[in-house]
Amino acid sequence: MASASDSTLYPKITTHVNEVIKTLKYKLRDPDRPEEEPVVAPVPIIGTVKLHGTHADILVSSNDNINLQSRNNALLLETADNLGFAKAMSSKRPTILRLRDQFLVRWKELNREKALDTALPITIAGEWVGEKIQKGVAISKLSRRLVIISAKINGNWVADTDYADIEAPEDGIFNVSRAGTYRSVLYPEEPQKTIDELEPLADAIAAQCPFAATFGLTGEGEGLVWKLVPYISDSDLWFKTKGGRFKPTFTPAPKKPPVDQAERREAAKGLAQAWCSEQRLQQGWDYLREKGIEQDMKGIGAFLKWLQLDILSEEKGYITEYKIDEEMLKKEIIGRGKPWYLDRCTMIASPRSRYEGGAGS
């Protein structure tokens, strides 16, 4: 199997609609008047169900080399796996190549005037779901399987609806579009209107997962992933809305910016408490597993570093706008993350508390 660079890893998807709007307006600004923020008309968006599993990608080159990846690891092997994904795919080479060919045939039908760059791999991006990968959601009752959630062809992410029927159920590979697609509108000038319209959809999916329902199962889901229809391939404009217990904690704007050291410390403490959610802490724990780092005292440094970087990246807009002291925030993140990590190590050390899965995404 071929090696791959970090640039092939699946993009991180934000939960912040305001950040997406900011990026969109930056892309649409007038180059002759870059200081002027454009007024952007409502944009149609299309969504698919977000699955609560662990991310897994298949990259297939024109010479039939196959490379497997997780969100944080550019090369998965049976000896360096992610919850059995590489092992499961090792026996599916003919199926994977057939799926690659189906994607290419469809792409050529839709892009007759475009040339295909055969130096670029086809990315079949997915979510590895099923028993002992997550707990407490409907799809955890399924046997382990791969669900195709996106595809990248000729260097661009393609519209999910154009490839919705490509799957291989007989080999445990399904398409997320079997759960349907959702359509709504992004209002760049009225972000709260967007949020108000999308939240009920995410809550409905959190209450009853429509993907699990296609297999006759009932139970919790997670939410939706949205893409802007005119800009499908721009992954920095993708965003997700989560419902129910998966709904992220958003922090309101402060009544006034912190001025002295005590106020800055108090602001940092409050934000660390909000942003070090159980889900994010679990994702940090799973990051260690994906990277092959021991989930014990040897791994605490890598865990805390990941936690800090993830928060500073994900919440960058808020931190900059409200002048949050980053060094104080980092210390408060450690103050929240360290005891959680130590408790988790103690829990895992107890045979009665062992749990294999819990991969966040």
CATH code, 86: 3.30.470.30
Do 267 and 165 share a domain, yes or no?
Answer: no
Do 130 and 166 share a domain, yes or no?
Answer: yes
Do 99 and 235 share a domain, yes or no?
Answer: yes
**Beta carbons within 10 angstroms of residue 298's beta carbon:** 10
> Count of domains in the chain?
2
Do 116 and 203 share a domain, yes or no?
Answer: yes
In a domain, 360, yes or no: no
Do 64 and 25 share a domain, yes or no?
Answer: yes
pLDDT, one tens digit per residue, over 70-120 is 999 999 999 999 999 999 999 999 999 999 999 999 999 999 999 999 999
CA angle 28, 33, 37 (to 5 degrees): 50
Do 183 and 265 share a domain, yes or no?
Answer: no
In a domain, 359, yes or no: no
Q: In terms of C-beta density within 10 A (0-12 exposed, 13-18 middle, 19 or more buried), how is residue 148 classed? A: buried
In a domain, 253, yes or no: no
Rounded to whole angstroms, the Cα distance separating 166 from 171 reads 13
**Beta carbons within 10 angstroms of residue 6's beta carbon:** 9
Contact present, 221 and 148 (Cβ < 8 Å): no
In a domain, 181, yes or no: yes
Q: Is the dihedral angle over the CA atoms 72, 145, 223, 241 positive or is it negative?
A: positive
Q: In three state form, how does the secondary structure of 79-117 look?
A: CECCCCHHHHHCCCHHHHHHHHHHHHHHHHHHCCCCCCC
pLDDT, one tens digit per residue, over 45-61 is 999 999 999 999 999 99
Helices (H), 184-294: 191-207, 210-213, 261-275, 278-291
Do 199 and 345 share a domain, yes or no?
Answer: no
Q: Model pTM?
A: 0.88
- Which of 144, 15, 142 has its CA nearest to residue 86? 144
In a domain, 119, yes or no: yes
In a domain, 141, yes or no: yes
Do 241 and 204 share a domain, yes or no?
Answer: yes
Banded pLDDT at 2 (limits 50, 70, 90): very low
What domain range is 214 assigned to? 6-246
Do 322 and 239 share a domain, yes or no?
Answer: no
In a domain, 236, yes or no: yes
In a domain, 251, yes or no: no
Do 234 and 266 share a domain, yes or no?
Answer: no
pLDDT, one tens digit per residue, over 258-281 is 889 999 999 999 999 999 999 999
Do 72 and 203 share a domain, yes or no?
Answer: yes
Record the tokens describing residue 62, joined without a space: 């024109």
Do 116 and 238 share a domain, yes or no?
Answer: yes
